[in-house]
């Protein structure tokens, strides 16, 4: 199953990031927040690319997990582990 990647450059702080989605029309200048500076005034450059591979091949792909969902912190408190599976 293919997906789309909305490629974004924040024009306030220059962060580049990608939104991987099955619903690219939901992600516009009005809906995005910069994850680095928090800017939400539409100051972005956007590109869309259709990707002919399943979304899980992009995220997580072969990446190493560096954090876990917040809802699991209470369940695993004290373990000190940061590994989770999706
Ligand atoms: Zn920014």
For the segment 60-71, what is each residue's pLDDT rounded down to a tens digit?
Answer: 999 999 988 887
- Cα dist. 32→37, 77, 81 in Å? 12, 32, 31
Ligand 1 centroid to Cα of residue 17, in Å, is: 10
- pLDDT for residue 81: 47
Ligand 1 centroid to Cα of residue 2, in Å, is: 28
Backbone angles phi, psi at 47, to 5 degrees: -135, 150
The answer to whether residues 55 and 22 touch, using CB atoms and an 8 Å cutoff, is yes
Instruction: Indicate yes or no: pTM above 0.85.
Output: no
Ligand 1 centroid to Cα of residue 73, in Å, is: 28
Across the beta sheet with 3-10, what order do the strands follow?
A: 16-21, 3-10, 44-51
Residue 34: Cβ-neighbour burial (10 angstroms; 0-12, 13-18, 19+): buried
């Amino acid at each position: 199953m293919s997906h789309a990647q909305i490629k974004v450059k924040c024009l306030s702080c220059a962060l580049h990031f990608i939104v991987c989605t099955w619903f690219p029309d939901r992600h516009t200048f009005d809906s995005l927040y910069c994850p680095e500076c928090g800017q939400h005034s539409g100051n972005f450059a956007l590109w869309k690319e259709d990707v002919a591979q399943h979304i899980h091949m992009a995220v997580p792909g072969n990446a190493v997990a560096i954090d876990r969902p917040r809802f699991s912190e209470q369940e695993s408190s004290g373990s000190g582990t940061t590994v989770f599976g999706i």
